[in-house]
Chain A
Amino acid sequence: MRLIFGTLFGLAVAAAVGLGLTHYALTHGMAFGGLTIEGWTAWPKSGTTDADPYVRASIARSGRLPTALGDGVSFTVDSDDDGKILDGRCEVVVSGVTPPARFWTVTLYNPDGGLVANSTNRYGFTSQEIVRHSDGSFEIVVAPRANPGNWLPTGGVERYELVLRLYDTAVGVSTKAGREVPMPDVTTRSCP
């Protein structure tokens, strides 16, 4: 009786630990080979056949198609430069320049990867439609209410993430954080 009970207990611990770890790893974006530059994270290897089992499992679970490395690289950010989680009720400024690429896009998603409904049907900006300063830098205001300039509406959602996709770029598996890859700053300007 004690043997059966003990075995069942051991197996229960194994199941809880094993499945719990898997769930945690896949929902928290844990994978090897991540490239983090100023808060923006990309997994360049997720677009190659070198993708590790964690990346593969996370891709299969989410249902997305990863950006292939010959196509581009996508960087994601879900908190500002001070580590504060991006809140759709606040006014967040994304400013600066991007690493060299033929085109880039910035898109706002809810944590499940869906677009966020808003009155202007704007879900992001491309490198061509953005209004820039004379020195080539830009400033995007991510806020629930209309702003002059490059306004990216949040629809007032509680949490969101921004995805910066660089297309036809030299940024890739061998890229290291540094001056060649300047990423835009993400700053929370004000919160209600």
Chain B
Amino acid sequence: MIRWLLLILGGVLLGGIVHLATVIILPRTATQDAYARLSPIVPVNTAVSLPAPTPEKAVMPFMDPAFASAVCRYDLSQGPLKLTVPVSPAYTSVSFYTRNDVAYYAINDRAAGRRVIELDLMTTAQHDQVPEDEEITAADRLIVESPTPTGLIAIRAMAPEPGLMKAAQAAIGAARCGTAQPEPAPAPVPPARPRR
């Protein structure tokens, strides 16, 4: 009798470890997370508009139907990324997620304070290579550091009324996301930043 009780107790303790281990490992093994759902339809380093969610079909669950959205699936191994998002009439936001769908940064049109949200996305190592004096001359440029070399950028514009959906979609459709290329010719590492 005691033997069985001990076995059950041991099993429950081990079960607690199994529980914690599965919770921690799950995000790394999930095959249906947002990144995995978007991978087949969104090429790397390109902003792609997502179809509006309908009852029959939605790219992801819990999408807000009042928004036009686009996604850029990025890979910073080839150099920093440049993102340009024209602001829609109502509300525009850009949210950054790691490979495991953890949000690490977001900015909206009001925080950006102008007609176009422009920023550079780079890893910490790439940021360290940016010469300091250049950072001062380009003080108006926003630099975001990504904790992981790959991840997702969600670009979203609100249509406060159904009639404004076209304008929101147009703003989102004009969003650009791509590796920052120098104007005349490709430069060696560190990658040159885009000129104005």
Please tell me if the beta carbons of A49 and B104 are within 8 angstroms of each other in the complex.
yes
* Residues of B contacting A129 in the complex (Cβ-Cβ under 8 angstroms): 160-162
- Minimum CB–CB distance from B1 to chain A (whole Å) comes to 13
Report the separation of the CA atoms of residues A62 and B32 in the bound assembly, to the nearest whole angstrom: 8
Whether B51 is near chain A, meaning CB under 8 Å from some CB there, is no
Report the separation of the CA atoms of residues A102 and B61 in the bound assembly, to the nearest whole angstrom: 24
* Residues of A contacting B27 in the complex (Cβ-Cβ under 8 angstroms): 56-57, 59-60
Please tell me if the beta carbons of B103 and A68 are within 8 angstroms of each other in the complex.
yes
Whether B196 is near chain A, meaning CB under 8 Å from some CB there, is no
Please tell me if the beta carbons of A65 and B17 are within 8 angstroms of each other in the complex.
no
Please tell me if the beta carbons of A63 and B19 are within 8 angstroms of each other in the complex.
no
Task: Tally chain B residues at the interface, Cβ within 8 Å.
Answer: 64
Please tell me if the beta carbons of A167 and B62 are within 8 angstroms of each other in the complex.
no
Contact residues on A (Cβ < 8 Å of other chain), bracket: 35 or more
Question: How many residue pairs bridge A and B at CB < 8 Å?
Answer: 209
* Residues of B contacting A21 in the complex (Cβ-Cβ under 8 angstroms): 15-16, 19
* Residues of B contacting A71 in the complex (Cβ-Cβ under 8 angstroms): 93, 95, 106, 108, 156
**A 70-104 contacts with B by CB, 8 A:** 70-72, 102-103
* Binary flags per residue of B89-125, CB closer than 8 Å to A gives 1, else 0: 0110101110011111111101100000000000000
Please tell me if the beta carbons of B106 and A163 are within 8 angstroms of each other in the complex.
no
Report the separation of the CA atoms of residues A22 and B21 in the bound assembly, to the nearest whole angstrom: 9
Asked, given contacts A68-B106, A103-B91, A117-B55, whether A16 binds B15 with beta carbons under 8 Å apart, the answer is yes
Please tell me if the beta carbons of A65 and B55 are within 8 angstroms of each other in the complex.
no
Please tell me if the beta carbons of B66 and A105 are within 8 angstroms of each other in the complex.
yes
**A 130-164 contacts with B by CB, 8 A:** 163
* Residues of B contacting A54 in the complex (Cβ-Cβ under 8 angstroms): 23
The 8 closest A-B pairs by CB, nearest first: A18-B18, A13-B11, A113-B61, A17-B15, A70-B106, A68-B106, A14-B14, A128-B160
**Known interface pairs A57-B23, A107-B66; 20 further A-B residue pairs with C-beta atoms within 8 A, sorted by A's residue number:** A6-B3, A10-B11, A11-B11, A14-B18, A16-B15, A18-B14, A21-B15, A21-B19, A46-B103, A48-B103, A54-B23, A64-B60, A64-B63, A68-B106, A71-B156, A103-B160, A114-B53, A124-B64, A124-B65, A128-B90
A-B contact pairs, 15 of them (CB 8 A): A13-B7, A15-B18, A17-B11, A18-B21, A60-B33, A61-B30, A63-B60, A68-B96, A102-B91, A103-B90, A107-B66, A112-B61, A115-B55, A128-B160, A167-B93
